[in-house]
Amino acid sequence: MRTVLKSWIASANVPGNPFPLQNLPYGVYLAHHGRGHCCVAIGDELVDLTRMEAVGLVDLGQQHRLFADGSLNEFMAAGEPAWRLLRQRLISLLAENGDAGLRVGGALRQDVIRQRAGLTMLMPFKVTEYTDFYAGRRHAENAGAILRGDPSLTPNWLSMPVGYNGRASSVVVSGTDIRRPLGQMKAADADLPVFGPTRQLDFELEIGAVIGVPSPMGQPLTVAAAESMIFGYVLLNDWSARDIQAWEYRPLGPFQGKAFATSISPWIVTREALEPFKVSTPDRERPLLPYLREPGPMLYDICLEVTLAPAGATRATVISRTNYREMYYSAPQMLAHHAIAGCGMRTGDLLGSGTVSGPTEDSFGSLLELSWGTTRPLRLDTGETQCFLEDGDRLTLHGYADGGDYRIGFGDCTGRVLPAPEQGAW
């Protein structure tokens, strides 16, 4: 029988709270003196790891502090033994029948525990590199049907996870406003391109894998070794300018249409928290080469939802519901393929899954699909119809793994669309 973990922090035991004791996701918040502090979410509160380390409540046997610089990178690089040790220590300190040192220590408790409401969340880690994959079969087939009139996959798609290198400098934390990008676009019936704000601003519903342990250049990885390097997962919105992308992507793929913004949720959910929700990738109609074969289940059963609220709206419309288990390739497979030619991987590398789309029209993970290339405008609960994002829209990704009597939540990944910059003399 599965043991139900309860915490002495009452809000962590409330059904539906995204941050029960089984979760303990990591983040960074803006502390009162203006510096980022590493933390863990528990119920409606957070535990300040930077302060816990400073006062000796956390000691992972390292020669230097892991939480002192306002990012999780040092801790992520420490590897699985340190990750397991801290999780065990936190569960001991926060469980209702665990170590009483924090529960009964009034001044200590005040020093390291904060209410999450009203706090500003920062980027949880320093993104060193960002690679976006295209690992959802439904999305790949839908995009082909919309853009080329042909749902057939490219010849390489069933043999390897296809990806491209994105911009680490454009990855931002949830809550950051997104400026509508400028660029070149060319209508199908035009001879030459025009310059201006994108007219087809879109979102992409994705899961991001955060790399903790690095690998040296020239060293290929097995899928199993790749999995052990992954620290955890975030919700990820790879904002896309479809008209800019359509004009630029041949022959080398996405560039400006994808480089302007990628949003992630503020909390990194660990592999250990997601372990009970593992599921297998789908049956293969073409055998994978040996280096990509998984030794066991490596996808996760994560419920995903997207809401859209136009400017001034009093409520948001749910525009998509799907599940991460729809992916064709897992994150460890993506990481193994990334490294197979000798690419060195770094602590803080971020791998986007590609758009998560399900089999039905209400489970598509982008407006390109939901509006079927503008031929089926999306009707919102507020009465508006839209094909792509408008200025003032707030787009939010939600995600959780359902454990029956508890949920492993990611926290929202949200962004509001701002108008394009004023066009200068260029």
d(CA 161, CA 354): 10
Annotated active-site residue in 32, 33, 64, 139: 139
d(CA 93, CA 116): 19
Count of CB atoms situated within 10 Å of the CB of 184? 15
* β-bridge partners, 240: 202
d(CA 136, CA 413): 20
**For the chain, what percentages of helix, strand and coil (3-state, to nearest 5) are there?**
25, 25, 50
The answer to whether the beta carbons of residues 310 and 384 sit under 8 Å apart is yes
- The β-bridge relationship of strands 350-352 and 130-133 is parallel
CB burial string 331-358: b at 16+ within 10 A, e below: bbbbbbbbbbeebebbbbbbbbbbbbbb
d(CA 82, CA 283): 35
Q: Which amino acid is at 291?
A: Y
- DSSP secondary structure string for all residues of 27-40: EEEE-TTS-EEEEE
d(CA 240, CA 341): 28
- Counting Cα atoms < 13 Å in the Cβ hemisphere of 295 gives 9
Q: What is the gyration radius of the CA atoms in the chain, in angstroms? A: 22
- Cα dihedral across residues 82, 80, 209, 252: positive or negative: positive
Residue 139 falls in the annotated catalytic set: yes
Q: State the catalytic residues.
A: 139
